[in-house]
Structure 1
Amino acid sequence: MIDGDSSGEIAAPLPSAWALVRVSGPSMSPTVRSGDRLLARRVRAGGRVRPGDVVLARFPARPELLVVKRVRRTVEGGHWVEGDNPFVADDSRAFGAAVVVGRVVGRLWPRPGRLPAAPPSALP
């Protein structure tokens, strides 16, 4: 969830080049946890996103939902994104391809720094 984000437009871009993100929920645990604050940079349409990147994305089927997920691969219509926690499926397994709108640069709080690489089970 982005603080102050209330966009309902399909694949709406981030409101500015940088966004402060507050994580809500366990889907990216152990990489990030509920309550973590992340810094994300906007990705414009056609911007380069690679497998393994932690991103902000929207699902065309749920445009009001902005999620923090890890890119698994590029697919028709966008990217296949999944959380690092395999027991939570609020990702492409449930909603299909996602449109990436931002790339997470790092964690600001409570453990500042870059995010760790994907857990072995998170990438193909």
Structure 2
Amino acid sequence: MPTVVIIAGSKSDEKIYNKAVDVLTQEKIEFELKILSAHRNPDELDAYIKQSDAKVYICVAGLSAALPGVVASKTQKPVIGVPVSAKLGGLDALLSIVQMPPGVPVATVGIDNAKNAAYLAIRILNA
């Protein structure tokens, strides 16, 4: 089973999530990549999170950027949100990911910075 799971809301985010893929591959960290939208695939996302043994989740999301918060609401494992610069320079996604309600924490990296998400996941694994 992978220790890190990268979940992207859309294949169109490939340019962003591949930055995390590159770092995790280089560092020889077991990972899995899933394309699951919080809006288009909610049941599939829920089932996947329930069966996953991942230690850390990296969620790449733009626009409403609900994915990281939804994943964080379904697991007690660390979730790292990567806001994508789809609209408004990514500020809409950044604010959506960073403003989680109490009890649903999501670590957030800079806009389009999936590389830092991968490095943060590695630090979490090594803690």
Q: TM-score, normalised by structure 1?
A: 0.28
- Considering fraction of residues, name the structure with more helix: 2
Q: TM-score, normalised by structure 2?
A: 0.28
- Considering fraction of residues, name the structure with more strand: 1
